[in-house]
Structure 1
């Protein structure tokens, strides 16, 4: 009877290389920072008077905790950029980054929830996403030059949605597994 050594034993070197070391490396890149990218403006102003803004709302020790923090803040609509009550902030994207500024996860804010984007699965897919996003940004610049500001904003947001998939390679597998969990949906 021949036994396949792969099915009965996993060497300690494999366990260290595939499980322990990546976990330690990710832990060294915490805490994770949660930020929102959106549009700010005063009550009663039109879209032309609004401006883009990034708001950091806090830190979390794990991707799960960071997702919960972001989701809670969006659902409660309590993201403020100043003490001035007349200044409103409309979040468009939630972004979670690590201590080394690597993207952990990002998603679009829609109707009071965050639609987290599935990370790219390979470097080749990441290159395709960058190419597609660059094309969209080029179209945004062309639309802005023609004075089509609404179209330009749509192209920029479409590019940003693609770029939200550009998760740092160290986090890709962890985040992909997290998004497959039923409670993450």
Structure 2
């Protein structure tokens, strides 16, 4: 006996592969975690006494919600690390990561807005960025050895901005599509 494939019939294996498994994989990567990399320091002290700090902003169920939440927090200037009024925090980079800590999207904070970084388009481009970021981190290490803390921090920051483009391959298409929307600009 032969099974005939009718146009309206879809095999259960095809349904599972095409619809169920991608949804399960996506659900495992949620919720998304938002954080902010910045510089902290006490009022009245020079830049040599500043230090890098990462602050957790919150969680979100989707990339779109995460972008909105991050933009609102940056626009309102309510990202801080302490209730201490003498401790300042300057946000520099916003990072959205999935449940596996894969990079979903990242952007530079400038004048109260987030300039989201376009994800890499290929693995070759990702390798070039890793090479350049490693070079900058080497310069930061050398500057730290000379006790030039400001230069070291600037090199690490530039490396972080490059690495902001190293979006996990699972999220590259989603991030690129989101950045094509007018409201994301």
Structure 2: gaps of 5 or more residues:
1-9
Q: Deviations over 1:70-103 (max 9, x none)?
A: 1111111111212222221111110001111111
2:170 corresponds to 1:184: no
Distance in structure 2 (CA, Å) of the matches to 1:170 and 1:19:
16
Give TM-score scaled by structure 1 length. 0.85
User: Where does 1:5-154 land on structure 2 (aligned, <5 Å)?
Assistant: 21-154=21-154
Q: 1:85 to 1:148 in 2, by over 3 A?
A: closer
Q: 1:151 to 1:44 in 2, by over 3 A?
A: same
SS of structure 2 residue aligned to 1:170: coil
Distance in structure 1 (CA, Å) of the matches to 2:131 and 2:118:
18
Over aligned residues, Cα RMSD in angstroms?
A: 2.1
- Higher mean Cα deviation, 167-176 or 131-140? 131-140
SS of structure 1 residue aligned to 2:170: helix
Q: 1:17 to 1:162 in 2, by over 3 A?
A: farther
Q: 2:140·2:153 contact (CA, 8 Å) conserved in 1?
A: yes
Q: 1:23 to 1:126 in 2, by over 3 A?
A: farther
**Pair member with larger Rg:** 2
Q: 1:23 to 1:182 in 2, by over 3 A?
A: farther
SS of structure 1 residue aligned to 2:171: helix
Distance in structure 1 (CA, Å) of the matches to 2:81 and 2:162:
26
- How many residues are matched? 175
Please state how far the C-alpha of 1:18 moved relative to its aligned partner: 6.6
- Higher mean Cα deviation, 123-132 or 31-40? 123-132
Distance in structure 1 (CA, Å) of the matches to 2:15 and 2:122:
22
Distance in structure 1 (CA, Å) of the matches to 2:46 and 2:22:
48
Q: 1:37·1:92 contact (CA, 8 Å) conserved in 2?
A: yes
